[in-house]
Chains A and B, each alone.
Chain A
Amino acid sequence: MSGIDWAVMLSTIGLIVAYGVWKTRGPQTADAYIRGGNTLKWPAIGLSIMATQASAITFMSTPGVAFERGMGFVQFYLGLPIAMVVISAIIVPIYYRQRVFTAYEYLEGRFDLKTRLLGASLFLISRGLAVGISIYAPAIVLSTLFGWQLETLVIALGGIVIVYTVSGGTRAVTQTQKQQMIVMMGGMIVAAVVVVMRLPDAVSLDDALAVAGSLGRMEIIDPTFDLGNRYTLWSGLLGGFFLALSYFGTDQSQVQRYLGGRSVTESRLGLLFNGILKIPMQLLILFVGVMVFVFYQFSAPPVHFNQAYVAAVYETAHADDYRALEDDFGVAFVDKQQHIQALLTARAEGDEPAVEAASAALKASEAKLEAIRGDAKRVMQLALGKNERETKDSDYIFISFVVGHLPIGLIGLLMAVILSAAMSSTASELNALGTTTVVDFYKRLGRGTPTDRQLVVATKGFTIMWGLVAIGFASFASVLDNLIEAVNILGSLFYGTVLGIFLVAFFIKRVGGTAVFAGALCAQAVVLGLFFGTDLAYLWFNVVGCACVIVFASIAQLVVPAPQR
């Protein structure tokens, strides 16, 4: 990166953090520190909600997903607006009336202490492990790409987040997220414009979308009902609805964002703001990925986007094999150009049979290139002793494009986008982990009633502790690659169960704590059984887990004493 890029990146991040710390300076009460003092307006809440969900992975991996598989991933978010409406209409008023600090606090009032601790524990386990990934994921890619030391980057990133999250609590997180979200969206809009401008002059946006469509990147909606297909209209609407309902309605890292609202109205509007803008935002990021894909139809891409690995292969005995595949790739790429031109010419002339023929030839040409890329990955695996997942390069596609093809200054801005995303999601998670540990365990189970100051100090202490856990996990994650995958799956396995507990709490008043506790344990066993015994796409675990809790808890209530009123 050039000096200008460094200056843009560091000044953007530095100014945001400094502004957040300055804006939230001064004496702090527990309510102000944990819940933001109920001063937040809906734009801040909405941006904070979006920034919490948008991690660095969103901006690095999502364009890579679009590059490889097209824009169908947007269906994952189709259930989100429906969930926002349900949470706004039903859940927000309940939390406000109870004046809770955490979502799990509500469960004790509705059920009992053990159910509250179960919900809080599931959150701490899954989110406590996942927060390390929020730091590790961008750090590993950036360190590989730029040769930066991984541990230094992890400590720097984690350290900055700990400083401003601890200093200002929920208000600091929200204040910084407003600016971070503006940088993130501004950066991606500029990237979208620049990538379209980088296409050859003779290629219009319509032509670019046609090329992408011919190669299967424009299948945005898949109406088929296939339980094994991860992203369809139905899995997105139904599975995505339950996932979003669980994440935004019961996960403290999100609940804490809107509990700080000035009023019920502000919180509701913040959630609905997310319901309207989230899908267009994801579409924009996927569009950037597809345009990068089209760009590489006219400009030769590398065979493998992780150039650090490629350089390592050149140093091994497999270098000649790899170079031979690069030569084959170059020949196949030149061959593909004539099919692209044939397609564009046929479209311009309105010759449908010629369009069909050119499209088929283009697909065959692309399949040949993909086969060579597959062979190159296998050579890389042999040469470097890596497995298939380790040589996956989709996370490197967008960042390689940014570094290789964007102008000076914009590279620094896009780096700031990625680091801002990493910090915004990590800050919310640390803020929520510290809060849940204090409110649901320290304050609830400790002796005596802590003073306001003790609560603030304890929350700061536990936030630092979780920050250090995250940094530690991120530092060791490189030797625990399989564990990272396990952690990601772990989170998705628990969401349905947690949501089921909350839905029973909200809607089935005759079910008590013991029944829902037993129902939750049984439901979790069913989800784990399906996970280990079937190929069911993971979005459906949210539906199954939630439904099982409701059914099992209702049945269990028939055999246990009715809850005392």
Chain B
Amino acid sequence: MSEADKQPNTSSADTGPDLDDTPPLLGSWRNIYIVVLGNLVLLIVLFWLLTAAYT
């Protein structure tokens, strides 16, 4: 978890980008990262099964 994850919302409405860092779904960035990495694991397993089935 990065330092930014722990920071409160610090929106800068003046000139720069919004530093608001609240994920829109799943509650936390950690959960979103788990989904991305879980998807990778699933793909590797799928590739493994396809390799085994057709080789």
Contact partners of B21 in chain A: CB under 8 A: 93, 263-265, 268
**CB within 8 Å of A: which B1-55 residues:** 1-5, 15-24, 29, 32-33, 36-37, 39-40, 43-44, 47-48, 50-51, 53-55
Q: Mark A194-232, 1 if CB is under 8 A from B, else 0.
A: 000000000000000110110010111100000000000
Q: Which of B19, B23, B37 sits near A82, CB closer than 8 Å?
A: B37
Q: Which of A84, A99, A263, A276 sits near B18, CB closer than 8 Å?
A: A263
Contact partners of A96 in chain B: CB under 8 A: 4, 17, 19
Q: Is the CB of B17 within 8 A of A89?
A: no
Q: Is the CB of A265 within 8 A of B22?
A: yes
| A220 and B51 in contact, given A38-B16, A89-B29, A263-B20 (Cβ under 8 angstroms) | yes
Q: Which of B40, B48, B51, B54 sits near A279, CB closer than 8 Å?
A: B40
Q: Which of B36, B47, B54 sits near A85, CB closer than 8 Å?
A: B36
Cα A210 to Cα B19 with chains together (Å)? 51
Cα A393 to Cα B34 with chains together (Å)? 42
Instruction: Tell me how far the C-beta of B35 lies from the nearest C-beta in chain A, rounded to whole angstroms.
Output: 8
| A85 and B2 in contact, given A97-B19, A209-B54, A265-B21 (Cβ under 8 angstroms) | no
| A74 and B19 in contact, given A218-B55, A276-B39 (Cβ under 8 angstroms) | no
> Which residue of chain A has its CB nearest to the CB of B45?
A221
Contact partners of A263 in chain B: CB under 8 A: 17-21
The reply to whether the CB of A262 lies closer than 8 angstroms to some CB of chain B is yes
Q: Mark A84-127, 1 if CB is under 8 A from B, else 0.
A: 11001110010011010000000000000000000000000000
Contact partners of B3 in chain A: CB under 8 A: 93
Q: Is the CB of A81 within 8 A of B40?
A: yes
Q: Is the CB of B54 within 8 A of A78?
A: no
Instruction: Tell me how far the C-beta of B10 lies from the nearest C-beta in chain A, rounded to whole angstroms.
Output: 10
Q: Is the CB of A264 within 8 A of B20?
A: yes
| A89 and B33 in contact, given A74-B47, A78-B40 (Cβ under 8 angstroms) | yes
> Which residue of chain A has its CB nearest to the CB of B11?
A263
Contact partners of B44 in chain A: CB under 8 A: 78, 221, 233
Centre residue among B16, B17, B22 by max chain A CB count within 10 A: B17
The reply to whether the CB of A275 lies closer than 8 angstroms to some CB of chain B is yes
Q: Is the CB of A264 within 8 A of B17?
A: yes
The reply to whether the CB of A433 lies closer than 8 angstroms to some CB of chain B is no
The reply to whether the CB of A272 lies closer than 8 angstroms to some CB of chain B is yes
Q: Is the CB of B17 within 8 A of A38?
A: yes
Q: Is the CB of B50 within 8 A of A85?
A: no
Cα A209 to Cα B49 with chains together (Å)? 13
Instruction: Tell me how far the C-beta of A145 lies from the nearest C-beta in chain B, rounded to whole angstroms.
Output: 32
Contact partners of A261 in chain B: CB under 8 A: 17
Contact partners of A74 in chain B: CB under 8 A: 47
**CB within 8 Å of B: which A222-279 residues:** 233, 261-265, 268-269, 272, 275-276, 279
Q: Mark A66-78, 1 if CB is under 8 A from B, else 0.
A: 0000000010001
Q: Is the CB of B4 within 8 A of A264?
A: yes
Cα A401 to Cα B45 with chains together (Å)? 32
Q: Is the CB of A88 within 8 A of B51?
A: no
Cα A262 to Cα B24 with chains together (Å)? 14
Binding site for A on B (CB under 8 A): 1-5, 15-24, 29, 32-33, 36-37, 39-40, 43-44, 47-48, 50-51, 53-55
Apart from A38-B18, A261-B17, A279-B40, list 8 A-B contacts with CB within 8 A: A82-B40, A93-B21, A209-B54, A218-B55, A263-B18, A264-B17, A264-B18, A265-B20
10 contacts between A and B (CB under 8 A): A74-B47, A85-B37, A88-B33, A93-B4, A96-B17, A96-B19, A210-B54, A218-B54, A220-B48, A264-B18
